[in-house]
Amino acid sequence: MASNAAPEQGRNIDLDGAYAAAEERFTAANPQSLAQYQRACESLPGGNTRTGMYYAPYPLAMARGEGAYMWDLDGHRYHDYAGDFSAGLYGHSNPIVHAAVKEALEAGVTFGSASAHEARLAALVCARVPSIERVRFCNSGTEANIMALVTANAVTKRSKIMVFEGAYHGGTLSFPPSGSPINVPFDFIQAPYNDIDGTAALFDQHGDSLSAVLVETMQGAGGCIPGATDFLALLRERASQHGAILIFDEVMTSRLGPTGRQGALGIIPDMTTLGKYVGGGMTAGAFGGRADIMAHYDPREKGHFVHHGTFNNNVLTLAGGAAGLEKVYTPEAATALTAAGETLRARLNELGQKHGLPFQAAGYGSLMNIHFVDGKIRSHKDLAGRNLTALDLFHLEMIAASIYITRRGYIALSLALSDDDHDYFVAEVDKFLSANGSLIAP
């Protein structure tokens, strides 16, 4: 594929011109993906069934993956730095997870009964996440968050829910600055993320009517913005004070260390939601927490809450998830991957400083996001001035350099990526900033 090159003299005289040229090269290099996209548009709105997968001029279509790499329909190989938005923790076809799923598949799938798999994965989750004394499974992080919220409403007999500006808890629980017309119709109160005074004022006003406080310990889709320790501690203190249920959405961040971000910070919520990688790469979600809260789902008890779901305990997810947590993503592996991510992020940030450009990688551990903006990022408001055209150009030029990342600059490391992969990635980013720095500089 084409590599990063300096802007053509007289042609790419500005950033828009550089991006237009990158689109032309992308289209010329990927005719099979274009043909696949055109076929998809005949039966899918915009050729798409997962909004985040779309980007202009059209998305690449992948044919297969192995380890840290993917191949598209045109035969190009990519270093996978998107990691399926953190679901691809194990890389592609990890042999241990693959064997567990294959064994479960061959034994039969649709039993419509209990199996040994659900208790095995449940025990692993309860041992790993400090706040989860009891857990229930579902099919996605979105579903897990919805279940946690309806649980909080039912337990507290209240209806107001505090969420945070810039948050993303699933396709129907999204709070970008532009708003979302398809959110579930809960009674939301939006508080400013990482703003202690502003959030405390909303607790003063609404605290005694809150059923739940739902927060990401690091805003993922919002740009990988870590929640400050004192901010999250305030949420713990005030939720307890007002009798609200504090829910940590660790769908992404539970991978950030042996006990998730809550364990690393020592701030323990009442409930936690999980998803993404927890099913070993299969569709998965989970919600759990204090035993007294989760006891409402005990079917042996009169008046228990009902939580049906045909695929809540599907054996492929449970077998793959258990094999992954038990044999692959051990506490030691989680510690090592988090450290590797911190090292990579530091190297990327050094490049921004080296070139004197508004370029940085926000995040923590194995999850990070590239932003073309100066200054410390504490909330979505600090991203208002970011250079989105530079980010679009960066995305296409990384693809041209055989590095697959998301259009918004989100990066999720997998266990399959090596130090050599990281060295290559850093070198290509360095080349990009050298070639395009004059176009990006403010």
Q: Which tens digit of pLDDT belongs to each residue from 57-103?
A: 999 999 999 999 999 999 999 999 999 999 999 999 999 999 999 99
pLDDT band at residue 9, thresholds of 50, 70 and 90?
A: very low
422 touches 429 (CB < 8 A): no
Beta bridge partners of 360: 371
The pLDDT score that the predictor gives to residue 442 is 85
Q: Examine the pLDDT at 211 and tell me if it is beyond 50.
A: yes
The pLDDT score that the predictor gives to residue 65 is 98
pTM comes to 0.96
399-423 average pLDDT score: 99
The pLDDT score that the predictor gives to residue 4 is 54
Q: Examine the pLDDT at 278 and tell me if it is beyond 70.
A: yes
| Mode of pairing for the β-strands spanning 245-249 and 271-275 | parallel
Q: Examine the pLDDT at 117 and tell me if it is beyond 70.
A: yes
Which residues have C-beta within 8 Å of that of residue 158, sequence separation ≥ 6? 209, 210, 211, 244
Which residues have C-beta within 8 Å of that of residue 182, sequence separation ≥ 6? 171, 172
pLDDT band at residue 131, thresholds of 50, 70 and 90?
A: very high
Q: Determine whether 1 is exposed, middle or buried from the number of CB atoms within 10 Å of its CB (0-12, 13-18, 19+).
A: middle
Q: List domains and CATH numbers for the chain.
A: 15-92+336-440 (3.90.1150.10), 95-328 (3.40.640.10)
DSSP states of 115-170 as a string?
-HHHHHHHHHHHHH-TT-SEEEEES-HHHHHHHHHHHHHHHHT--EEEEETT-BSS
Q: Across the chain, what does the average pLDDT equal? A: 97
Q: Examine the pLDDT at 10 and tell me if it is beyond 90.
A: no
Q: Determine whether 190 is exposed, middle or buried from the number of CB atoms within 10 Å of its CB (0-12, 13-18, 19+).
A: middle
The pLDDT score that the predictor gives to residue 13 is 76
What are the tens digits of pLDDT across the range 214-258? 999 999 999 999 999 999 999 999 999 999 999 999 999 999 999
The string over 273-293, giving b where at least 16 C-beta atoms fall within 10 Å of a residue's C-beta and e elsewhere, is bbbbbbbbbbebbbbbbbeeb
Beta bridge partners of 10: none
What are the tens digits of pLDDT across the range 86-99? 999 999 999 999 99
Q: Examine the pLDDT at 8 and tell me if it is beyond 60.
A: no
What are the tens digits of pLDDT across the range 170-190? 999 999 999 999 999 999 999
Q: Which two three-digit tokens encode residue 5?
A: 């090159």
Q: Examine the pLDDT at 5 and tell me if it is beyond 80.
A: no
Q: What percent of the chain has pLDDT over 70?
A: 97
Q: Determine whether 214 is exposed, middle or buried from the number of CB atoms within 10 Å of its CB (0-12, 13-18, 19+).
A: buried
The pLDDT score that the predictor gives to residue 215 is 99
Rounded distance, CA 356 to CA 344, Å?
Answer: 19
pLDDT band at residue 26, thresholds of 50, 70 and 90?
A: very high
What is the tally of helices (H) and strands (E) in the chain?
A: 13, 16
Distance in angstroms between the alpha carbons of the first and the last residue of the chain: 30
Residue where the block lists tokens 């828009």: 16
Rounded distance, CA 96 to CA 75, Å?
Answer: 27
Q: Examine the pLDDT at 277 and tell me if it is beyond 50.
A: yes
The pLDDT score that the predictor gives to residue 3 is 52
The pLDDT score that the predictor gives to residue 121 is 98
Task: Provide the CA 365 distance to its chain's centre, in angstroms.
Answer: 13
The pLDDT score that the predictor gives to residue 2 is 46
Rounded distance, CA 121 to CA 408, Å?
Answer: 33
The pLDDT score that the predictor gives to residue 68 is 99
Beta bridge partners of 367: 364, 412
What are the tens digits of pLDDT across the range 363-401? 999 999 999 999 999 999 999 999 999 999 999 999 999
